[in-house]
């Protein structure tokens, strides 16, 4: 099926470091969403972006909707052990429940 | 806690059998979408229901079908189960609409783990 190109695939970092991950697409979206998924659970929404150029923060998380509407990034500052998990980007459209997901970025944090 | 609840949480079925998965959407949400997530992959869109009608479908065969009820809860049915149908099935709810300015935030349930043997 159709997917976004999400990178990096995995990261292993030291506690306290900053993290950056991004998604690119050949298609234009008018919604970008970032989710975190822990093992055995459903994805939990972290940040939702609705407008090209929009920069939104949620605590230590910051995400931006690319100007071209074909990309987005997520930054995590001062990582902590509970940030461990799989992060997914998803592109979508305003009036539909259909999302296209990236392959995920697995984050591991060393205390 | 997203307010989206799914049942059952885990089940095992035999190849060729049929399965029904259930989902209750978040209060105020009239759109339900279903996704299939294979191990190590991102979720794949199966279909969406809006006001009790299918409103968009991904690349899944007709043996994947669904229903939405007047209270906006939903079912996913899969007939003639195959081994490759083993996956986490996720339900997501949102407040759909026809306006392009609808800020559509989509919330997922915990999922139903299906194993086909």
**CB-based burial of residue A4 (10 Å sphere; 0-12 exposed, 13-18 middle, 19+ buried)?**
buried
**With an 8 Å Cβ cutoff, are B97 and A95 in contact?**
yes
Of the candidates A13, A92, A96, A6, the one whose C-alpha atom is nearest the C-alpha of residue A48 is A92
**DSSP reduced 3-state for A66:** coil
Q: Which residues contact A38 (CB under 8 A, 6 or more apart)?
A: A44, A85, A86
Indicate whether B98 pLDDT > 60: no
Q: Which residues of A54-73 are buried (b: 16+ CB within 10 A; e: fewer)?
A: bebeeeebbbbbbeebbbbb
Measured distance CA(A87)–CA(B52) in Å, rounded: 32
Lowest mean pLDDT among A18-27, A77-86, A92-101, B73-82: A92-101
User: Does the CA dihedral A53-A57-A63-A69 come out positive or negative?
Assistant: negative
* Residue in B4, B50, B103 nearest the CB of A94: B103
Average pLDDT, chain B: 91
Chain mean position to CA B59? 14
Taking contacts as CB-CB distances below 8 angstroms, the residues of chain B near A44 are: 2, 108
Say if the Cβ atoms of B103 and A96 lie within 8 Å: no
Picking from A3, A40, A45, the nearest residue to B107 by CB comes out as: A45
Average pLDDT rounded to a whole number, residues B31-57: 92
Of all residues in chain B, the one with the smallest CA distance to A45 is B107
Would you call A97 and B31 a contact, using CB atoms and an 8 Å cutoff? yes
A39-48, B17-26, B46-55, B89-98 — most confident range: B17-26
> What's the pLDDT score for residue A96?
73
Min CA distance, A81 vs chain B (Å)? Answer: 21
- How far is residue B30's CA from residue B24's CA, in Å, rounded to a whole number? 11
**pLDDT given at position B95:** 81
Backbone conformation region of residue B77, classed left if phi is above 0, alpha if psi is from -120 to 50, else beta: beta
Tell if the CB–CB gap between B48 and A41 is shorter than 8 Å. Answer: no
Nearest to A32 by CA among A58, A75, A1, A69: A69
What is the model's pLDDT at position B101? Answer: 47
Is the pLDDT at A59 greater than 90? The verdict is: yes
* pLDDT value, residue A2: 59
């Amino acid at each position: 099926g159709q997917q976004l190109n999400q990178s990096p695939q995995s990261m292993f970092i030291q506690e306290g470091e900053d993290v950056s991950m991004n998604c690119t697409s050949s298609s234009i979206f008018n919604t970008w969403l970032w989710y975190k998924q822990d093992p055995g659970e459903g994805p939990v929404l972290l940040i939702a972006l609705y407008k090209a150029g929009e920069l939104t923060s949620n605590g230590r998380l910051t995400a931006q909707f690319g100007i071209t509407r074909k990309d987005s990034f997520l930054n995590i500052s001062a990582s902590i052990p509970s940030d461990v998990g799989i992060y997914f980007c998803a592109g979508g459209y305003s009036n539909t429940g259909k999302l296209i997901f990236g392959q995920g970025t697995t984050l591991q944090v060393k205390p | 806690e997203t307010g989206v609840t799914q049942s059952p949480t885990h089940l095992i079925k035999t190849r060729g059998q049929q399965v029904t998965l259930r989902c209750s959407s978040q209060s105020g949400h009239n759109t339900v979408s279903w996704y299939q997530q294979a191990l190590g992959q991102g979720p794949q869109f199966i279909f969406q229901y809006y006001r009790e009608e299918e409103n968009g479908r991904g690349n899944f065969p007709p043996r994947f079908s669904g229903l939405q009820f007047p209270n906006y809860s939903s079912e996913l049915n899969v007939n003639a189960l195959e081994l490759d149908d083993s996956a986490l099935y996720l339900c997501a709810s949102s407040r759909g609409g026809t306006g392009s300015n609808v800020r559509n935030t989509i919330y997922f349930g915990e999922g139903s783990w299906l194993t086909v043997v």
